[in-house]
Chains A and B, each alone.
Chain A
């Protein structure tokens, strides 16, 4: 029997795709600023990166508020039970046609691997990237105020986080193909509705 549940609420989908757009533009302009690519030029990249960064910071504040006030934060608490099954599935089961061991429900929508990954990304990588970005942006003022003299370490962390985010995005995009159908996860994130076999 087939059953549909609304897994991702409207605001959740909004912040997911908003963040996707912002991170993508920050990534492209960031690579430009770092001298890896040279497509739109440094000056325009710099302005776009700053604007994108501030909007992202604002959005992340909204996300955190939402996650904390709705109790959604509980979904990010690491749960190692079932981790071995998930890992076994990705490394072996998927090749022999096994079904995914995790079944999403509204109160437990992430599998153990997702829980730990999203915890690290959303509450580790993202804030670290935004904070280092803000220090970077306000470096001139901070230096004038005598708070920091050099930006090198902050720059190193910011670049490190940027590369980590790109790597995350690549794997994240691949992971959406592990639904019931190839497009299931993508559809769920777009419409909020996940169809599961029950």
Chain B
């Protein structure tokens, strides 16, 4: 994104100064060097001798960092960014253990997924999770925008020019990047968090690459037009621990306001932390905040930027080949083209400016794992449903993207199955062999999951709370969206909602009383007129 911006900027700059440039020098300053400062806080990293060397191996950069930042790697080792798992009620869960979703199901066993791990080369069990030099400092601290991690090398940066898809990915100049480090910016976080699930915007519904440099319309907080927030403005960080929702904690504690980070125990800053729970100068609207999250009205749609988010993914159709080769079909979704079918992945639907669904939520999602037994009759199965209801003082109505999946499960053992997707021929990888039994057997083995050999596909719901891309106040949801018919809150029936709810007995009474009165009056008045007319004419006749 940044690159594109520079290109556009330099072209427009070039056009505007064309007449002068044509007679003057044509030297071009490398865009990154002109833009990126090597000074971070009070230190100029380009002045450190240890960084003034040619690096050809990324862990060497980390070792150089650690010469001054002696505790950094130890801190990172304790973070969820590193462990990819947390213990919840005695069960370890996360990308690296037991947990799954309804996108590519499981990261473990698919070594390309670890390109987003804050380490180098987590391909298999042999990866040393306690080696300090394995920590990737640059992916978060690179300020040049040139640092890119390779899927094929499980998170090592590109050491040489590599063809990825149709374009050439240039080798990373590690020395240049190492000398231009600083506080993580939006692009550092988005490099992974915007492309989860296999591509830009796929996973979250409110987190895609448009947040790199959003217009005010798209995100009132992050837009450089105004506040220019980075992610850490809300996901406050200390000792490399980033506040936010993990498997073992809620994302926010916003029924208690104005809490410091320690009090919040690592949950992130909520809207209320800054805005209070009564920010509207309007009692009627402020009264909503006890039961309705800010996001429900202030993020009226999800995927509000130019990019699509994935709405459904049916794995059961994957594996169809044309002349023995995988293919894909593109379709237009909300004005943007994307895959509707891929042999590798199955059938998708996508959307942009999508109306979210609403659920009670207290910042906690109840994740099920490969260890949990499911009842196939209960499909669609909620993989990570939010908890809470009307009675729960901690729960509020939140907007959600509910990603509809159809994914493999073991029909004998009644649990979900991971898929071996990425790998060479002979590993069972689905993306090279297109053989379900092999891919499921390999996936199960790599994830320590039992597999009977019998499988089928079952519908699932994946829940993604919507909280980014807060819209300007003019675009706030109007009352009728919920207090009307149809209501966005359809399905949340554990309370009475004005404008949406009616009691049929009362409505029948109303109909009867009002129309009955009217009908009675029309008949009565009609007969009065007729009888008066008759009396008149008969008295005339008598006279």
A-side residues, CB < 8 A to B, are 33-35, 38, 41-43, 46-47, 50, 90, 94-97, 139-140, 143-144, 149-152, 155-156, 159-160, 162-164, 166-167, 170-171, 174, 177
Within the complex, the shortest CB–CB distance from A183 to chain B, in Å, comes to 15
The verdict on B528 contacting chain A, using a C-beta distance below 8 Å, is yes
A119 to B513, CA, bound (A): 19
Q: In the complex, what residues of A have CB within 8 A of residue B521's CB?
A: 170-171, 174
Are B513 and A42 touching (Cβ within 8 A)?
no
A sample of 13 more A-B contacts (CB under 8 A), given A150-B495, A152-B501, is A33-B483, A33-B499, A35-B484, A42-B484, A43-B478, A90-B524, A95-B528, A96-B531, A97-B535, A139-B287, A150-B496, A152-B495, A163-B510
Q: 14 A-B Cβ contacts within 8 A?
A: A35-B484, A38-B484, A42-B479, A42-B480, A94-B528, A95-B527, A97-B531, A159-B502, A159-B506, A163-B509, A164-B509, A167-B517, A170-B518, A171-B521
Q: In the complex, what residues of B have CB within 8 A of residue A163's CB?
A: 506, 509-510, 513-514
A149 to B392, CA, bound (A): 11
Within the complex, the shortest CB–CB distance from B309 to chain A, in Å, comes to 29
A152 to B509, CA, bound (A): 17
A94 to B529, CA, bound (A): 10
Within the complex, the shortest CB–CB distance from A54 to chain B, in Å, comes to 13
List the A residue with the shortest CB-CB distance to B513: A167
The verdict on B284 contacting chain A, using a C-beta distance below 8 Å, is yes
The answer, among A159, A164, A177, for a CB contact under 8 Å with B503, is A159
Given A35-B484, A95-B528, A159 and B510 contact (CB-CB distance below 8 Å): yes
Within the complex, the shortest CB–CB distance from B485 to chain A, in Å, comes to 5
A38 to B525, CA, bound (A): 31
Given A94-B528, A96-B535, A163-B510, A149 and B499 contact (CB-CB distance below 8 Å): no
Within the complex, the shortest CB–CB distance from A128 to chain B, in Å, comes to 14
A143 to B288, CA, bound (A): 12
Within the complex, the shortest CB–CB distance from A154 to chain B, in Å, comes to 9
A139 to B496, CA, bound (A): 12
Within the complex, the shortest CB–CB distance from B92 to chain A, in Å, comes to 39
Are A46 and B479 touching (Cβ within 8 A)?
yes
Q: How many residues of B contact A (CB 8 A)?
A: 36
Q: In the complex, what residues of A have CB within 8 A of residue B514's CB?
A: 163, 166-167, 170
Given A46-B284, A156-B503, A33 and B498 contact (CB-CB distance below 8 Å): yes
Within the complex, the shortest CB–CB distance from B251 to chain A, in Å, comes to 24
Are B496 and A38 touching (Cβ within 8 A)?
no
The verdict on B500 contacting chain A, using a C-beta distance below 8 Å, is yes
Q: In the complex, what residues of A have CB within 8 A of residue B535's CB?
A: 96-97
A90 to B484, CA, bound (A): 42
Q: In the complex, what residues of A have CB within 8 A of residue B413's CB?
A: none
Q: In the complex, what residues of A have CB within 8 A of residue B513's CB?
A: 163-164, 166-167
Q: In the complex, what residues of B have CB within 8 A of residue A166's CB?
A: 510, 513-514
Within the complex, the shortest CB–CB distance from A149 to chain B, in Å, comes to 7
Q: In the complex, what residues of B have CB within 8 A of residue A46's CB?
A: 284, 479
List the B residue with the shortest CB-CB distance to A157: B506
Q: In the complex, what residues of B have CB within 8 A of residue A156's CB?
A: 503, 505-506
Are A34 and B499 touching (Cβ within 8 A)?
yes
Q: Interface 1/0s, chain B 355-372, versus A by CB < 8 A?
A: 000000000000000000
Which 6 A-B residue pairings sit nearest by Cβ, starting from the closest? A163-B510, A167-B513, A42-B479, A152-B496, A140-B287, A95-B531
Are B483 and A42 touching (Cβ within 8 A)?
yes
Within the complex, the shortest CB–CB distance from B181 to chain A, in Å, comes to 49
Q: In the complex, what residues of A have CB within 8 A of residue B391's CB?
A: 149
The verdict on B290 contacting chain A, using a C-beta distance below 8 Å, is yes
Q: In the complex, what residues of B have CB within 8 A of residue A149's CB?
A: 391
Q: Interface 1/0s, chain B 458-485, versus A by CB < 8 A?
A: 0000000000000000000011100111
Are A151 and B510 touching (Cβ within 8 A)?
no
Given A50-B284, A167-B514, A41 and B499 contact (CB-CB distance below 8 Å): no
Q: In the complex, what residues of B have CB within 8 A of residue A143's CB?
A: 290
List the B residue with the shortest CB-CB distance to A167: B513
Q: In the complex, what residues of B have CB within 8 A of residue A151's CB?
A: 495-496
Are A140 and B480 touching (Cβ within 8 A)?
no
Which B504-536 residues have C-beta < 8 A from chain A? 505-506, 509-510, 513-514, 516-518, 520-521, 524-525, 527-528, 531-532, 535
Within the complex, the shortest CB–CB distance from A89 to chain B, in Å, comes to 12
Are A170 and B284 touching (Cβ within 8 A)?
no
A151 to B495, CA, bound (A): 8
Within the complex, the shortest CB–CB distance from A27 to chain B, in Å, comes to 11
Within the complex, the shortest CB–CB distance from A143 to chain B, in Å, comes to 8
The answer, among A41, A97, A150, A152, for a CB contact under 8 Å with B480, is A41
Within the complex, the shortest CB–CB distance from B102 to chain A, in Å, comes to 35
Within the complex, the shortest CB–CB distance from B259 to chain A, in Å, comes to 20
A94 to B530, CA, bound (A): 12
A114 to B315, CA, bound (A): 73
List the A residue with the shortest CB-CB distance to B510: A163
Q: In the complex, what residues of B have CB within 8 A of residue A152's CB?
A: 495-496, 501, 503
List the B residue with the shortest CB-CB distance to A141: B287
